[in-house]
Structure 1
Amino acid sequence: MAETTFPLQSVTKVIGLERVDSTQALAAELALKGEPEGTLVLACEQTEAFGRDGQPFYSAEGGVYFTLLLRPNKSEEALHGLGEKMAEVIAHTLTSIFEIKAKATADGDTLTWDKAAHKWKKIAGVLVQTVQTDNDEPVLLGVGIHLNNPLPASRKKTEASLKQLIRTETSKELFLDELLENFWKEYSYWLASAH
Protein backbone atom coordinates (compact mmCIF):
# COMPACT_ATOMS: atom_id res chain seq x y z
CA MET A 1 0.00 0.00 0.00
CA ALA A 2 1.51 3.31 -1.08
CA GLU A 3 0.91 6.27 1.21
CA THR A 4 1.27 9.87 0.18
CA THR A 5 0.76 12.80 2.49
CA PHE A 6 -0.07 16.10 0.88
CA PRO A 7 -2.84 18.64 1.36
CA LEU A 8 -5.78 18.37 -1.00
CA GLN A 9 -8.23 20.99 0.24
CA SER A 10 -8.95 19.77 3.77
CA VAL A 11 -7.76 16.24 3.06
CA THR A 12 -4.96 15.52 5.52
CA LYS A 13 -3.69 12.24 4.09
CA VAL A 14 -4.15 10.38 0.80
CA ILE A 15 -3.78 6.63 0.53
CA GLY A 16 -3.67 5.97 -3.20
CA LEU A 17 -4.00 2.45 -4.57
CA GLU A 18 -4.09 0.97 -8.04
CA ARG A 19 -6.56 -1.72 -7.01
CA VAL A 20 -8.37 -2.52 -3.79
CA ASP A 21 -11.27 -4.74 -2.80
CA SER A 22 -13.21 -1.72 -1.51
CA THR A 23 -12.12 1.75 -0.42
CA GLN A 24 -14.99 1.64 2.10
CA ALA A 25 -13.73 -1.57 3.72
CA LEU A 26 -10.15 -0.30 3.90
CA ALA A 27 -11.27 3.05 5.34
CA ALA A 28 -13.26 1.18 8.01
CA GLU A 29 -10.10 -0.69 9.06
CA LEU A 30 -8.14 2.56 9.15
CA ALA A 31 -10.85 4.29 11.20
CA LEU A 32 -10.59 1.54 13.81
CA LYS A 33 -6.82 2.10 13.94
CA GLY A 34 -7.34 5.81 14.65
CA GLU A 35 -6.62 7.43 11.27
CA PRO A 36 -7.49 11.14 11.48
CA GLU A 37 -10.35 13.04 9.90
CA GLY A 38 -9.56 13.95 6.34
CA THR A 39 -7.93 10.63 5.43
CA LEU A 40 -8.82 9.85 1.81
CA VAL A 41 -8.62 6.28 0.51
CA LEU A 42 -8.46 6.54 -3.28
CA ALA A 43 -8.35 3.70 -5.82
CA CYS A 44 -8.13 3.39 -9.59
CA GLU A 45 -10.20 0.22 -9.45
CA GLN A 46 -12.27 -1.67 -6.87
CA THR A 47 -12.86 -5.40 -7.15
CA GLU A 48 -15.50 -5.94 -4.46
CA ALA A 49 -17.25 -2.58 -4.02
CA PHE A 50 -20.91 -2.52 -3.09
CA GLY A 51 -23.69 0.05 -3.10
CA ARG A 52 -26.31 1.07 -0.56
CA ASP A 53 -28.48 -1.88 -1.59
CA GLY A 54 -25.66 -4.34 -0.96
CA GLN A 55 -25.36 -5.04 -4.68
CA PRO A 56 -21.96 -4.86 -6.44
CA PHE A 57 -20.97 -1.36 -7.57
CA TYR A 58 -19.26 -1.35 -10.96
CA SER A 59 -15.79 0.09 -10.32
CA ALA A 60 -13.60 -0.53 -13.37
CA GLU A 61 -10.43 1.44 -14.02
CA GLY A 62 -11.10 4.94 -15.30
CA GLY A 63 -13.59 5.97 -12.65
CA VAL A 64 -13.08 7.96 -9.47
CA TYR A 65 -13.51 5.82 -6.35
CA PHE A 66 -12.77 7.04 -2.86
CA THR A 67 -13.80 6.97 0.77
CA LEU A 68 -13.30 10.02 2.92
CA LEU A 69 -12.92 9.46 6.65
CA LEU A 70 -14.78 12.08 8.67
CA ARG A 71 -15.01 12.55 12.43
CA PRO A 72 -17.83 15.09 12.80
CA ASN A 73 -18.73 14.21 16.42
CA LYS A 74 -22.44 14.36 15.60
CA SER A 75 -25.17 11.84 16.27
CA GLU A 76 -26.14 9.40 13.54
CA GLU A 77 -29.48 11.21 13.25
CA ALA A 78 -27.64 14.50 12.63
CA LEU A 79 -25.75 12.85 9.78
CA HIS A 80 -28.96 12.10 7.90
CA GLY A 81 -28.74 13.70 4.49
CA LEU A 82 -24.95 13.62 4.15
CA GLY A 83 -25.16 11.20 1.21
CA GLU A 84 -27.65 13.42 -0.59
CA LYS A 85 -25.45 16.47 0.12
CA MET A 86 -22.45 14.74 -1.48
CA ALA A 87 -24.58 13.68 -4.46
CA GLU A 88 -25.60 17.35 -4.87
CA VAL A 89 -21.94 18.42 -4.78
CA ILE A 90 -21.12 15.87 -7.50
CA ALA A 91 -24.02 17.14 -9.62
CA HIS A 92 -22.94 20.77 -9.13
CA THR A 93 -19.32 19.96 -10.02
CA LEU A 94 -20.32 18.09 -13.20
CA THR A 95 -22.65 20.91 -14.24
CA SER A 96 -20.19 23.73 -13.54
CA ILE A 97 -17.22 22.12 -15.28
CA PHE A 98 -18.83 20.27 -18.16
CA GLU A 99 -22.12 22.11 -18.60
CA ILE A 100 -24.16 18.93 -18.54
CA LYS A 101 -27.46 18.44 -16.74
CA ALA A 102 -27.04 16.62 -13.45
CA LYS A 103 -29.15 16.19 -10.33
CA ALA A 104 -29.02 14.38 -6.99
CA THR A 105 -31.53 11.89 -5.66
CA ALA A 106 -32.62 11.76 -2.03
CA ASP A 107 -30.90 8.41 -1.51
CA GLY A 108 -27.46 9.58 -2.66
CA ASP A 109 -27.18 8.96 -6.39
CA THR A 110 -26.18 11.52 -8.99
CA LEU A 111 -27.98 11.35 -12.32
CA THR A 112 -27.03 12.97 -15.63
CA TRP A 113 -29.16 13.65 -18.65
CA ASP A 114 -28.21 11.45 -21.60
CA LYS A 115 -29.33 13.46 -24.64
CA ALA A 116 -28.91 10.56 -27.04
CA ALA A 117 -31.10 8.25 -24.94
CA HIS A 118 -33.45 11.03 -23.77
CA LYS A 119 -33.33 9.88 -20.17
CA TRP A 120 -31.66 10.38 -16.79
CA LYS A 121 -28.90 7.89 -15.99
CA LYS A 122 -26.86 7.20 -12.88
CA ILE A 123 -23.30 8.52 -13.06
CA ALA A 124 -22.35 8.36 -9.37
CA GLY A 125 -23.31 6.76 -6.10
CA VAL A 126 -22.62 7.73 -2.50
CA LEU A 127 -22.51 5.37 0.48
CA VAL A 128 -22.44 6.74 4.03
CA GLN A 129 -21.60 4.41 6.91
CA THR A 130 -20.45 4.81 10.48
CA VAL A 131 -17.90 2.76 12.40
CA GLN A 132 -18.02 2.33 16.16
CA THR A 133 -14.65 2.84 17.86
CA ASP A 134 -13.75 3.15 21.54
CA ASN A 135 -13.63 6.94 21.34
CA ASP A 136 -16.03 8.10 18.63
CA GLU A 137 -18.14 7.12 15.65
CA PRO A 138 -16.27 8.05 12.45
CA VAL A 139 -18.20 8.46 9.21
CA LEU A 140 -17.11 6.81 5.98
CA LEU A 141 -18.22 8.82 2.96
CA GLY A 142 -17.82 6.47 -0.01
CA VAL A 143 -18.07 7.84 -3.55
CA GLY A 144 -17.97 6.14 -6.94
CA ILE A 145 -18.15 8.20 -10.14
CA HIS A 146 -18.14 6.85 -13.69
CA LEU A 147 -15.70 9.31 -15.22
CA ASN A 148 -13.57 7.75 -17.96
CA ASN A 149 -14.42 4.11 -17.46
CA PRO A 150 -16.29 2.22 -20.18
CA LEU A 151 -19.56 0.67 -19.09
CA PRO A 152 -20.58 -2.85 -20.07
CA ALA A 153 -23.62 -3.11 -22.34
CA SER A 154 -25.69 -4.49 -19.46
CA ARG A 155 -25.31 -1.19 -17.55
CA LYS A 156 -25.66 1.33 -20.39
CA LYS A 157 -29.46 1.41 -20.18
CA THR A 158 -29.45 2.87 -16.67
CA GLU A 159 -25.92 4.23 -16.13
CA ALA A 160 -23.64 6.67 -17.93
CA SER A 161 -19.99 7.65 -17.80
CA LEU A 162 -18.80 11.20 -18.31
CA LYS A 163 -16.57 10.10 -21.20
CA GLN A 164 -19.62 8.69 -22.98
CA LEU A 165 -21.54 11.96 -22.49
CA ILE A 166 -18.82 14.46 -23.46
CA ARG A 167 -16.99 12.15 -25.88
CA THR A 168 -13.53 12.76 -24.39
CA GLU A 169 -11.52 11.79 -21.33
CA THR A 170 -11.09 14.22 -18.48
CA SER A 171 -8.39 14.54 -15.84
CA LYS A 172 -9.37 12.53 -12.77
CA GLU A 173 -6.99 14.59 -10.61
CA LEU A 174 -8.41 17.97 -11.65
CA PHE A 175 -11.98 16.72 -11.31
CA LEU A 176 -11.29 15.28 -7.85
CA ASP A 177 -9.60 18.50 -6.73
CA GLU A 178 -12.60 20.59 -7.79
CA LEU A 179 -15.06 18.10 -6.29
CA LEU A 180 -13.31 18.08 -2.91
CA GLU A 181 -13.03 21.87 -2.84
CA ASN A 182 -16.79 22.10 -3.44
CA PHE A 183 -17.46 19.38 -0.87
CA TRP A 184 -15.48 20.97 1.97
CA LYS A 185 -17.32 24.26 1.55
CA GLU A 186 -20.71 22.54 1.66
CA TYR A 187 -19.68 20.15 4.43
CA SER A 188 -18.53 23.00 6.70
CA TYR A 189 -21.81 24.81 6.25
CA TRP A 190 -23.86 21.61 6.62
CA LEU A 191 -21.93 20.56 9.73
CA ALA A 192 -22.52 23.92 11.39
CA SER A 193 -26.26 23.59 10.83
CA ALA A 194 -26.51 19.88 11.88
CA HIS A 195 -27.78 19.32 15.43
Structure 2
Amino acid sequence: MSRIGKQPVALPSGVTATLNGQTIEVKGPKDTQSFTATDDVTIAIEEGQITVSPRGKSKRARQQWGMTRTVIANLVHGASDTFKKELEIRGVGYRAQMQGNVLKLNLGLSHDVDFEVPAGVTVTAPKPTELVVEGHDKQLVGQVAANIRDWRRPEPYKGKGIRYKDEYIFQKEGKKK
Protein backbone atom coordinates (compact mmCIF):
# COMPACT_ATOMS: atom_id res chain seq x y z
CA MET A 1 0.00 0.00 0.00
CA SER A 2 1.40 3.36 -1.02
CA ARG A 3 1.76 5.70 1.92
CA ILE A 4 2.22 8.66 -0.40
CA GLY A 5 -0.48 7.70 -2.87
CA LYS A 6 -3.30 7.39 -0.35
CA GLN A 7 -2.88 10.98 0.91
CA PRO A 8 -5.19 13.45 -0.89
CA VAL A 9 -3.79 16.59 -2.51
CA ALA A 10 -5.47 19.71 -1.07
CA LEU A 11 -6.23 22.56 -3.47
CA PRO A 12 -5.26 25.92 -1.95
CA SER A 13 -7.43 28.98 -2.49
CA GLY A 14 -7.08 30.42 -5.99
CA VAL A 15 -6.11 27.08 -7.54
CA THR A 16 -8.61 25.08 -9.59
CA ALA A 17 -8.30 21.65 -11.15
CA THR A 18 -10.28 20.15 -14.01
CA LEU A 19 -10.30 16.52 -15.05
CA ASN A 20 -10.80 15.39 -18.66
CA GLY A 21 -10.39 11.62 -18.92
CA GLN A 22 -6.92 10.86 -17.56
CA THR A 23 -5.68 14.44 -18.10
CA ILE A 24 -5.74 16.82 -15.15
CA GLU A 25 -5.25 20.55 -15.67
CA VAL A 26 -4.32 22.78 -12.74
CA LYS A 27 -4.84 26.54 -13.01
CA GLY A 28 -3.51 28.98 -10.48
CA PRO A 29 -2.61 32.65 -10.16
CA LYS A 30 0.95 32.05 -11.39
CA ASP A 31 0.76 29.21 -13.95
CA THR A 32 -1.36 26.59 -15.72
CA GLN A 33 -0.04 23.05 -16.11
CA SER A 34 -1.46 19.71 -17.13
CA PHE A 35 -0.53 16.05 -16.68
CA THR A 36 -1.83 12.93 -18.37
CA ALA A 37 -1.85 9.89 -16.09
CA THR A 38 -1.61 6.29 -17.23
CA ASP A 39 -4.64 4.00 -17.26
CA ASP A 40 -3.33 2.23 -14.15
CA VAL A 41 -4.73 4.89 -11.78
CA THR A 42 -8.04 6.67 -11.20
CA ILE A 43 -8.07 10.40 -10.43
CA ALA A 44 -11.01 12.06 -8.66
CA ILE A 45 -11.66 15.68 -7.66
CA GLU A 46 -14.04 16.16 -4.75
CA GLU A 47 -14.49 18.78 -2.02
CA GLY A 48 -11.35 20.74 -2.86
CA GLN A 49 -9.13 17.66 -2.84
CA ILE A 50 -7.62 15.46 -5.53
CA THR A 51 -7.42 11.76 -4.76
CA VAL A 52 -5.55 9.09 -6.70
CA SER A 53 -6.27 5.37 -6.44
CA PRO A 54 -4.85 2.36 -8.29
CA ARG A 55 -6.89 0.27 -10.72
CA GLY A 56 -6.08 -3.26 -9.66
CA LYS A 57 -3.32 -4.86 -7.61
CA SER A 58 -0.58 -5.08 -10.24
CA LYS A 59 2.93 -3.86 -9.47
CA ARG A 60 2.76 -1.21 -12.20
CA ALA A 61 -0.53 0.16 -10.81
CA ARG A 62 0.98 0.51 -7.35
CA GLN A 63 4.09 2.22 -8.79
CA GLN A 64 2.01 4.68 -10.80
CA TRP A 65 -0.21 5.42 -7.79
CA GLY A 66 2.45 7.17 -5.69
CA MET A 67 4.17 8.76 -8.69
CA THR A 68 0.93 10.21 -10.07
CA ARG A 69 -0.01 11.68 -6.68
CA THR A 70 3.42 13.29 -6.34
CA VAL A 71 3.30 14.79 -9.85
CA ILE A 72 -0.18 16.22 -9.16
CA ALA A 73 1.02 17.68 -5.84
CA ASN A 74 3.92 19.35 -7.69
CA LEU A 75 1.48 20.78 -10.27
CA VAL A 76 -0.68 22.25 -7.50
CA HIS A 77 2.35 23.76 -5.75
CA GLY A 78 3.74 25.13 -9.04
CA ALA A 79 0.43 26.78 -9.94
CA SER A 80 0.63 29.10 -6.94
CA ASP A 81 4.34 29.23 -6.06
CA THR A 82 7.76 28.64 -7.62
CA PHE A 83 10.33 25.91 -7.15
CA LYS A 84 13.90 27.00 -6.45
CA LYS A 85 17.31 25.36 -6.67
CA GLU A 86 20.37 27.24 -5.45
CA LEU A 87 23.84 26.46 -6.77
CA GLU A 88 27.21 27.74 -5.64
CA ILE A 89 30.42 27.85 -7.63
CA ARG A 90 33.75 27.15 -5.92
CA GLY A 91 37.15 27.47 -7.50
CA VAL A 92 39.71 30.15 -8.28
CA GLY A 93 38.47 32.20 -11.23
CA TYR A 94 35.19 30.29 -11.50
CA ARG A 95 32.25 32.66 -11.98
CA ALA A 96 28.90 33.06 -13.69
CA GLN A 97 26.87 35.92 -15.10
CA MET A 98 23.60 36.28 -16.99
CA GLN A 99 23.54 38.05 -20.35
CA GLY A 100 19.96 38.15 -21.57
CA ASN A 101 18.74 34.55 -21.82
CA VAL A 102 22.27 33.07 -21.81
CA LEU A 103 24.22 32.02 -18.73
CA LYS A 104 27.97 32.61 -19.21
CA LEU A 105 30.14 30.35 -17.08
CA ASN A 106 33.91 30.68 -16.57
CA LEU A 107 34.91 27.27 -15.22
CA GLY A 108 38.61 26.97 -15.93
CA LEU A 109 38.06 25.44 -19.35
CA SER A 110 39.83 26.69 -22.49
CA HIS A 111 36.57 28.41 -23.47
CA ASP A 112 33.63 30.06 -21.74
CA VAL A 113 30.47 27.98 -21.48
CA ASP A 114 27.30 29.58 -22.87
CA PHE A 115 24.24 27.86 -21.38
CA GLU A 116 20.95 28.69 -23.10
CA VAL A 117 18.22 28.91 -20.43
CA PRO A 118 15.02 27.15 -21.59
CA ALA A 119 11.59 28.79 -21.50
CA GLY A 120 9.70 28.39 -18.23
CA VAL A 121 12.82 28.74 -16.08
CA THR A 122 14.61 31.84 -14.83
CA VAL A 123 18.25 31.78 -13.78
CA THR A 124 19.71 34.64 -11.77
CA ALA A 125 23.23 35.25 -10.52
CA PRO A 126 23.00 37.42 -7.37
CA LYS A 127 26.77 37.02 -6.91
CA PRO A 128 29.37 35.80 -9.42
CA THR A 129 29.66 32.58 -7.42
CA GLU A 130 25.94 31.93 -6.79
CA LEU A 131 23.14 30.84 -9.10
CA VAL A 132 19.39 30.61 -8.43
CA VAL A 133 17.23 28.51 -10.77
CA GLU A 134 13.48 29.17 -10.40
CA GLY A 135 10.34 28.05 -12.20
CA HIS A 136 6.86 26.57 -11.84
CA ASP A 137 7.73 23.08 -13.16
CA LYS A 138 9.69 21.10 -10.56
CA GLN A 139 11.05 18.60 -13.07
CA LEU A 140 12.28 21.33 -15.43
CA VAL A 141 13.91 23.33 -12.60
CA GLY A 142 15.74 20.25 -11.35
CA GLN A 143 16.85 19.27 -14.85
CA VAL A 144 18.22 22.75 -15.64
CA ALA A 145 20.10 22.84 -12.31
CA ALA A 146 21.54 19.37 -13.01
CA ASN A 147 22.60 20.40 -16.53
CA ILE A 148 24.41 23.47 -15.16
CA ARG A 149 26.07 21.35 -12.47
CA ASP A 150 27.25 18.83 -15.08
CA TRP A 151 29.59 21.40 -16.65
CA ARG A 152 31.93 21.14 -13.65
CA ARG A 153 30.89 18.71 -10.93
CA PRO A 154 32.51 19.13 -7.51
CA GLU A 155 35.67 17.10 -7.25
CA PRO A 156 36.53 15.27 -4.01
CA TYR A 157 40.09 16.55 -3.43
CA LYS A 158 39.79 20.34 -3.40
CA GLY A 159 36.00 20.66 -3.64
CA LYS A 160 36.16 22.83 -6.78
CA GLY A 161 33.14 22.89 -9.07
CA ILE A 162 29.43 23.68 -9.12
CA ARG A 163 27.45 22.25 -6.21
CA TYR A 164 23.97 22.56 -4.77
CA LYS A 165 23.75 24.98 -1.84
CA ASP A 166 23.15 22.27 0.81
CA GLU A 167 25.29 19.57 -0.81
CA TYR A 168 28.05 17.95 1.23
CA ILE A 169 31.15 16.84 -0.67
CA PHE A 170 33.25 14.22 1.09
CA GLN A 171 36.83 15.48 0.98
CA LYS A 172 39.43 12.81 0.22
CA GLU A 173 42.98 12.94 1.49
CA GLY A 174 45.57 13.74 -1.15
CA LYS A 175 48.81 11.93 -1.94
CA LYS A 176 51.25 11.40 0.88
CA LYS A 177 54.97 11.91 0.50
Q: Which has more radius of gyration?
A: 2
TM-score by length of 1: 0.26
Bigger proportion of residues as helix: 1
TM-score by length of 2: 0.28
Bigger proportion of residues as strand: 2
Q: Tell which has more relative contact order, 1 or 2 (C-alpha 8 A, sep 6+).
A: 1
